Amino acid sequence: MKCTKCGQPAVINMRQHRLGLCADHFVEWVPQQVQRAIEKYDMFTPEDRVLIAVSGGKDSLSLWDILLRLGYSVEGIYINLGIPHDSYSDVSQQKVEAFAAAHDTPFRVVNVKREYGESIPEVARRKRGRSPCSTCGLVKRHILNEVTLREGFGVLATGHNLDDEAAVLFQNSLHWATGYLARQAPVLPASHAGLARKVKPLIRLYEREMAAYALVRGIDYIYEECPFSRGATTLFYKELLDQLEAESPGAKQQYYLEFLRARADGRLLPADAGKPVLNQCQKCGQPTTAPGTCSFCRLWDVEEAAHEDSNGDS
Amino acid sequence: MADGRLCAKLGLTMKLIYRDQTWELKGKITVRDALKKVGLRPEAVLAVRDGKLITEDVLAGQDDVIRLIAVVSGG
Ligand code: SF4
Ligand SMILES: [Zn+2]
Ligand SMILES: [Zn+2]
């Protein structure tokens, strides 16, 4: 296959766009897609300071690379979760450090164990019945929100791609989880004091394109998956959607982007759907759905953990 | 993986490498057909030859070494 633009050998065939591109045109095209998403959804402007959540994976490192190339003012944040299997967390951190050093660009690290006394697997073990992933999600959300606000960033950017979002949409629509459907968006506004603005600039791009971008740009990312992600249902949903995509190119993109359109037009849910009543956590001050202390603070509350244990199963 | 060691008799084989697996395939075929032969979904991997990403319609064979990269990875 030849590049649609110049006739050189293509490195990627994007059937949903009827577009094949050579390496040069592809690494030019990807940031254009990102810029389009940033503008279309009013994510941020060159005046905003953007904090990027980086995991060491291909999506977040590529996002970092793209935003730097587009000239935005960005800083990375890496949360070391303390996942010991094959030094997963430490190796990931090294990838982030190497990227930042090569691009001479600032980043910060929050080490969960050093900061709060326990790693993610350790908390999950103490809190029986809480999966590592739900613990991890909760901790990451809290820390990212806190740092974004405390350090005066205008916005927090994450590396979710279209496949990530389509898989979540599929999961949410299987359960008709209308609350989640109402809130799944490329931009989550700072709708409440204490809530940071959150954006997903990669939502127009397929996971395949992000992997290709990282390869062509020579970005050294962590290739192994997190050991806890094995057998995760989202991986299964991604595969299902990929099978659909193989039969009908563009199906994945249409599924997700049309969902956004239908919801924005009010064809799907009433305009006020999914606006939870938020209270302020008595301990850390972050917004929480339940009154009292938020679930993040309760995670580290050893007394309550002992109480939960005495009601627990074993 | 019955196709895995189809044959290396003529020395005109293509090598596919994916994670810790290696397959050798005889003859000239497209990357897409090679992937199907070894039971991989073409959508799930990217193919790299001589350090360069190639599309799945590329004809490969004759001592080509093709490294396959999983599309889904990392966090
Ligand atoms: S797979 Fe689970 S534990 Fe691992 S990084 Fe993702 S959410 Fe965290
Ligand atoms: Zn070109
Ligand atoms: Zn709290």
Count of H helices and E strands in chain B?
1, 7
Q: Touching check for B70 and chain A: CB below 8 Å?
A: yes
What pLDDT sits at residue A276?
Answer: 76
Q: What is the pLDDT of residue A192?
A: 86
CB A175: neighbour CB atoms within 10 A?
Answer: 9
- Count of C-beta atoms within a 10 Å radius of residue A31: 19
Q: What is the pLDDT of residues B12-53, one digit of tens each?
A: 789 999 999 999 998 899 999 999 999 999 999 999 999 999
Inter-CA distances, A89 with A50, A54, A62, B19, Å: 23, 12, 19, 20
Residue-level pLDDT at B74: 56
| Domain membership flag for residue B16 | yes
A90, A190 Cβ separation under 8 angstroms: no
pLDDT in tens, A139-181: 999 999 999 999 999 999 999 999 999 999 999 999 999 989 9
The answer to whether residue B75 sits within a structural domain is: no
Q: Does B71 touch chain A (CB under 8 A)?
A: yes
pLDDT confidence bin for B3, thresholds 50/70/90: very low
A132 CA: nearest ligand 1 atom: 3
Question: What is the rounded average pLDDT of the residues B64-69?
Answer: 96
Strand order in the sheet with B45-49: B21-26, B13-18, B65-70, B45-49, B52-54
Alpha-carbon span A252 to A238, nearest angstrom? 10
Q: Which residues contact A20 (CB under 8 A, 6 or more apart)?
A: A1, A2, A3, A4, A10, A12, A13, A14, B55
Give the closest-approach CA distance of B68 to chain A in angstroms.
12
Number of domains, chain B: 1
Which pLDDT belongs to residue A111? 98
Is B13 among the domain residues?
yes
| pLDDT confidence of residue A191 | 85
pLDDT of residue B1: 44
The domain of B47 spans 3-70
The predicted structure's pLDDT at residue A280: 92
Cα A119 from Cα A100, distance rounded (Å): 24
How many CA atoms, within 13 angstroms, populate the side-chain half-sphere of residue A56? Answer: 23
Amino acid B10: pLDDT: 53
- Would residue B52 count as lying in a domain? yes
Give pLDDT, residue A289.
Answer: 86
Structure confidence at residue B7 (pLDDT)? 47
Using a CB-CB distance cutoff of 8 angstroms, which residues of chain B are in contact with residue A60? 75
B74 → closest Cβ in A55, A215, A235: A55
Residue A304 has what pLDDT? 54
Q: Which two tokens stand for residue A60?
A: 């977040």
Q: Can you read off the two tokens belonging to residue B19? A: 């994670």
User: In angstroms, how far is the first alpha carbon of chain B from the final one?
Assistant: 30
B11 lines ligand 1 (CB under 6 A): no
For residue A64, give Cα distances in angstroms to A44, A50, A79, A159, B18: 15, 10, 15, 9, 28
pLDDT of residue A230: 72
Residue A53 is predicted with a pLDDT of: 98
Per CB-CB distance under 8 Å, the chain B contacts of A245 are 43
Coil, strand or helix at B72? coil
DSSP B5: B
Q: What pLDDT is attached to residue B11? A: 56
Indicate the pTM of the whole model: 0.92
User: Where do you find CATH 3.40.50.620 in chain A?
Assistant: 31-273
User: In this structure, what CATH number is given to the domain that contains residue B54?
Assistant: 3.10.20.30
* Topology classification of domain A31-273: Rossmann fold (3.40.50)
Residue pointed to by tokens 């940071």: A196
Please report the residues numbered 29 through 48 in chain B whose beta carbons come closer than 8 angstroms to any beta carbon of chain A.
Answer: 41-44, 46, 48
Nearest beta carbon to residue B41 from set A20, A224, A242: A242
* β-bridge pairing A73-80 and A49-53: parallel
- Positions of chain A with pLDDT lower than 70, given as ranges: 231, 303-314
Task: Give CA separation, A282 vs A77, A142, A258, A287, A298, in Å.
Answer: 26, 15, 40, 10, 11
Residue A220: C-alpha distances to residues A102, A160, A266, B18, B59 (Å): 11, 18, 42, 18, 28
